[in-house]
Structure 1
Amino acid sequence: MKRLLFLVLFTLSSTIAMAQDFNKAKSLLDEVYNKVKSYDNIFVDFKYSLRNEEAKINTDTRGDVTMQGDKYVFNYMGAKQLYDGKKVYTVVPENEEVTVEEKMDDENTITPSKMLTFYKQGHNYAWDVLQNVQGRKIQFVKLTPIDTNSEIKSILLGIDVETKHIYKLIETGKNGTKTTITVNSFKIDQPLSKTLFTFDESKYKDDGYYIIRN
């Protein structure tokens, strides 16, 4: 009887602790989301690392993205992607090509405009470790996809406790691939050109680019 009572109490306390962790994690992520949504525009310069020991993949690169609402300009690995609110334009100077596509409506696809808000839906949350990074307190929250068919095993989201800005994202895939995005610079409400999110097709045609429409 005592053993049964102990197991019931242990299970109850574990359930309460998990609920408290979930609520703490969700509360912090809500603060991050509300902060992001309060800005007119955001510029993020980041480091991107990809690791997979079995496939012998070990790459590091950098990129940057400017976002305003759903619109964005994304520079990565020598290519540029622009979304003007209707269409996505991908410019690859190496091939002198521009691909024009309709906006992707797949909710599971993390586009540059969702990179700071993707966690809002489709994940379970758990409170994780607190790290000191060069004097900054970075609180990690562990995200686990609700969809059991997801190729993602888990995501660790590191949040600056003071600014409520995302500092690091560590995604672990079920195939062993680990992707890490570390924010080098986070700027808000910068003066932007009125034509920043406008695609000038004539400019690329004059430069000899081939325009592909999907």
Structure 2
Amino acid sequence: MNIRVAVIFNLLIFSFFSSNAQDKRASAILDAMSKKYKSLQSFSALFTYGADGNSSYKGDITTKSGKYRLKLAGQEVYNDGKTVATYVKETNEVNLSNYEPGEGDFNPAKIYTIYKKGYKYSLAEETKDGNAVIELVPQNKAAKIAKVRITVGKKDSAIKSWQITEKSGNKQSFRIDRFTPNVAVADNFFTFDKSKYPGVEVVDLRD
């Protein structure tokens, strides 16, 4: 996995109103999911991810008040709400950039608000194991993402997995393996500390 995974892993938000009964059911499921996650002060999750059916990898994320720290294969991404630091272990290099959230961003710290703005959604499937699959399609025709499918538990309103399909046809899938609500974590946990990475090369791309 390369830095592009971390970039695409940043979040979307959506607003769509429909008289279609299926969309109303999707809205009820998504609203319950959003309420569940908004009630949490913080959370951490272990997940499995992969692209286009190739090898799968393990990762983890911790988030608090919109900040997040994300670990992927050979990478760590820190977002303290002002700066995004992407550390690549192989090269012992970190890139610093301004955090500039915008429409179409896929921010893993706000996955529970994915449906609020910028996307149309519908209930695509209800599985035998009690989950609902919601499909989101961007309203912006220029978006690189073609669609996102999120699987949500209908009983516990928990996010089980999601799949991102780009217009190029590339697909990335994520499955939640373990979820821990309200973890105790300090704010500086989300800020990159170069003293913990001896010899790291810092590439500062901030304005």
* Aligned pairs (5 A) from 1:158-197: 158-193=151-186, 195-197=188-190
Supply the distance in 2 between the matched residues of 1:119 and 1:59 (Cα, whole angstroms).
29
In the other structure, the counterpart of 1:104 is 100
**Alpha-carbon deviation of 1:109?**
1.7
Supply the distance in 2 between the matched residues of 1:212 and 1:151 (Cα, whole angstroms).
26
**Alpha-carbon deviation of 1:194?**
5.5
In the other structure, the counterpart of 1:83 is 79
Asked which structure has the greater RCO (Cα within 8 Å, sep 6+), the reply is 2
* Aligned pairs (5 A) from 1:139-154: 139-154=132-147
Supply the distance in 1 between the matched residues of 2:57 and 2:203 (Cα, whole angstroms).
27
Supply the distance in 1 between the matched residues of 2:185 and 2:103 (Cα, whole angstroms).
28
Give the TM-score normalised by structure 1: 0.79
In the other structure, the counterpart of 2:15 is none
* Aligned pairs (5 A) from 1:48-127: 48-51=49-52, 58-127=54-123
Residue-pair matches, total: 188
Distance 1:173 1:93, change over 3 A: closer
In the other structure, the counterpart of 1:12 is none
Supply the distance in 1 between the matched residues of 2:134 and 2:72 (Cα, whole angstroms).
26
Would you tell me which structure has more helix in proportion to its own residues?
1
Supply the distance in 2 between the matched residues of 1:98 and 1:173 (Cα, whole angstroms).
26
Deviations along 1:80-117, one digit per CA (max 9) or x if unpaired, are 11112211112222211122111133321212223332
Supply the distance in 1 between the matched residues of 2:187 and 2:23 (Cα, whole angstroms).
42
Unmatched runs of 5 consecutive residues or more in structure 2 = 1-17
**Alpha-carbon deviation of 1:213?**
0.6
Give the TM-score normalised by structure 2: 0.82
4+ aligned runs moved over 4 Å, structure 1: none
Sequence identity percentage: 26
**Alpha-carbon deviation of 1:140?**
1.0
Distance 1:44 1:23, change over 3 A: same
Distance 1:172 1:89, change over 3 A: closer
Q: Does 1:201 align with 2:197?
A: no
In the other structure, the counterpart of 2:3 is none
Distance 1:149 1:211, change over 3 A: closer
Supply the distance in 1 between the matched residues of 2:196 and 2:143 (Cα, whole angstroms).
40
In the other structure, the counterpart of 1:5 is none
